[in-house]
Amino acid sequence: MTIDAQRLTDWLEHWAEATPDATAVEDSAGNRATYAELDRLARRIASRLHALGVRRGDRVGVSMPKCVNSVASIYGALKAGAVYVPTDYSSPPDRNRYIYGACDAKVICTDEKRAPTYGEGETSGIPLLVFPGEGPSGVGSPALDEGDEAWESGDKPGLNDLAYILYTSGSTGVPKGVMHTHASSISFVQWAASELKPTSNDRFSSHAPFHFDLSILDLYVPATAGAAIVIVGENLGKSPHELAGYMEERKLTVWYSVPSILALLVQFGKLEEKDFSSLRHVCFAGEVFPIKHFRDLTALWPDKEYWNLYGPTETNVCTFHHVVKPRDFERTTPLPIGLPCSNVRAKVVDEAFNDVTPGEEGVLYIHCSGPTMVGYFGDDERTAASIHTDGDGDRWYSTGDVVIEGDGGELTFVGRRDRMVKRHGYRIELGEIEAGLYKHPQIDEAAAVAIETPAGTSITAFLSPAEGQKLSIIALKGHCAKALPSYMNPDKFTVLDRLPRTSTDKINYPELKKMATSG
């Protein structure tokens, strides 16, 4: 059945009436909600948000562990006509307070553990909708009893209204908010559903945190078919052996994660001892899958359908490669990022925006319609810098990724044009790491460089101490744990009397990269 969705809540509302008792979401703590129950809980949250002053277009923060309540909060914000803004639950409080202050959040949905951290700084005075912490009986909240009885359906957003803002690492050390509309999200979700062909019997993994763009597929593609979302908790997601057992126990049919998680499962999950006969689709995105681990995975699971999905947060997924058997199982080079999705246009160009000859390197641009972002919240200058308008008036987003177009239009990823890197699926601006390091009072200079190793992307922080100071590696690690999200923490610290400089007195990053490679 095809549902003509006009907003991201339409699929939930349809199945709440058509199959009310079907499982919509279950979490790793044992909580479960049917489509009718999830829709009812989301309505109660929307009613409470309305009572707290949320109106169409307002931003609502979501800062809690992945669970039934957080899924319901996302849908509740959307039902209220608002824009949901999820943040990394494990990030330093200062970063999340900055984000919610920057986007002028009207309400923050959070749990009892994090609620006290929002009573100061940029979030002081923002109303909170507080839910119980993680646990087997943590669905709903007593605060929902104070909803707005007069609220019915809110001021429903249109297709071109914002649906969510995902904050990613910014080159200036300040996170940037990528804005997506209902239209851009629905376009991507419908494309993914057309390829994966979900049914009501499917059980989709939800491994990615909700502030990560992979979560858009996890949350909404199952809803197109009345299928179930099976949430993978953060701690469970980091333990490959337990995760493999969870996948088997919950009889997952569709898996989606960054390749590094699948590589860990191959190495430490003892997959050969478990029954994964229910699993039919294995999707991955966010980073290059080391071909050795990919081949090992396909040797263990030869009967699955594999999908290499590519796209920055700004575009959702914009190209894909459906693995060809047995050719791709025997590759010795990384998988291509494939062909443009049916709902996008791609162009590989030089610095003057001229098409490059197939086989030559160029920067990948994506046509800014359908699944592409509106822009960066509150930053028109950055938005304008990322968009190129061609002679026909079409708007193109620069991914900043260097690719090669092969025969038949198939694209192969080469690398980044700037200092943005990806690690464990997260897109990281090295400048944000440096900004975090500079908060240390004993650091005079800081520079971060990334190199590719057989184990993946490795980040080295080069530092020079303030006069008369000595830098302790243990103290530096402790500082980074407080100042940066865990996925941004450097792998190595190197202390120098002074960082090398170029002839124009800029930090000599190429020299530092050589030092990191040789060290």
Residue 372 sits in a domain whose CATH number is 2.30.38.10
The span from the CA of 258 to the CA of 43, in Å, is: 32
For 223-281, the DSSP string reads GGTT-EEEE--HHHHT-HHHHHHHHHHTT-SEEEE-HHHHHHHHHHS-GGGS--TT--E
Tell me whether residue 398 is in a domain: yes
Pairing between β-strand 32-34 and β-strand 23-26 as defined by DSSP bridges: antiparallel
Q: Domains in the chain: how many in total?
A: 3
Choose the final residue of a domain: 226, 256, 276: 226
| Residues 38 and 154 grouped into a single domain | yes
- Assess whether pLDDT exceeds 80 at residue 170: no
| Residues 473 and 439 grouped into a single domain | yes
Tell me whether residue 217 is in a domain: yes
The span from the CA of 167 to the CA of 426, in Å, is: 11
| Residues 404 and 437 grouped into a single domain | no
Tell me whether residue 131 is in a domain: yes
Output the pLDDT for position 427. Answer: 77
Where does the pLDDT of residue 417 fall: very low under 50, low under 70, confident under 90, or very high at 90 and above?
A: confident
Tell me whether residue 8 is in a domain: yes
| Residues 409 and 473 grouped into a single domain | no
Residue 357 structural domain: 344-416
121-157 pLDDT, tens digit each: 899 999 999 998 766 556 777 778 776 766 776 678 8
The three-state secondary structure class of 321 is: strand
311-330 pLDDT, tens digit each: 999 999 999 999 999 999 99
Q: Which two tokens stand for residue 477?
A: 């690690």
| Residues 375 and 430 grouped into a single domain | no
pLDDT, mean of residues 446-451: 92
- Assess whether pLDDT exceeds 70 at residue 102: yes
Tell me whether residue 144 is in a domain: yes
Output the pLDDT for position 163. Answer: 97
Tell me whether residue 303 is in a domain: no
Are the C-beta atoms of residues 317 and 192 closer than 8 Å to each other?
yes
| Residues 412 and 424 grouped into a single domain | no
The span from the CA of 410 to the CA of 336, in Å, is: 7
Tell me whether residue 327 is in a domain: no
| Residues 40 and 75 grouped into a single domain | yes
Residue 496 sits in a domain whose CATH number is 3.30.300.30
| Residues 95 and 165 grouped into a single domain | yes
Residue 51 sits in a domain whose CATH number is 3.40.50.12780
Q: Which residue has the higher pLDDT, 280 or 233?
A: 280
pLDDT, mean of residues 68-84: 96
Are the C-beta atoms of residues 469 and 442 closer than 8 Å to each other?
yes
Choose the final residue of a domain: 187, 203, 226: 226
Choose the final residue of a domain: 416, 431, 452: 416
As a whole number, the mean pLDDT across the chain is: 91
| Residues 361 and 390 grouped into a single domain | yes
281-290 pLDDT, tens digit each: 999 998 888 8
- Assess whether pLDDT exceeds 70 at residue 505: no
| Residues 475 and 509 grouped into a single domain | yes
| Residues 81 and 200 grouped into a single domain | yes
- Assess whether pLDDT exceeds 90 at residue 244: yes
Where does the pLDDT of residue 203 fall: very low under 50, low under 70, confident under 90, or very high at 90 and above?
A: very high
342-393 pLDDT, tens digit each: 989 999 999 899 999 999 999 999 997 666 789 999 999 999 999 998 888 8
Tell me whether residue 275 is in a domain: no
Written as one letter, the residue type at 406 is G
| Residues 406 and 434 grouped into a single domain | no
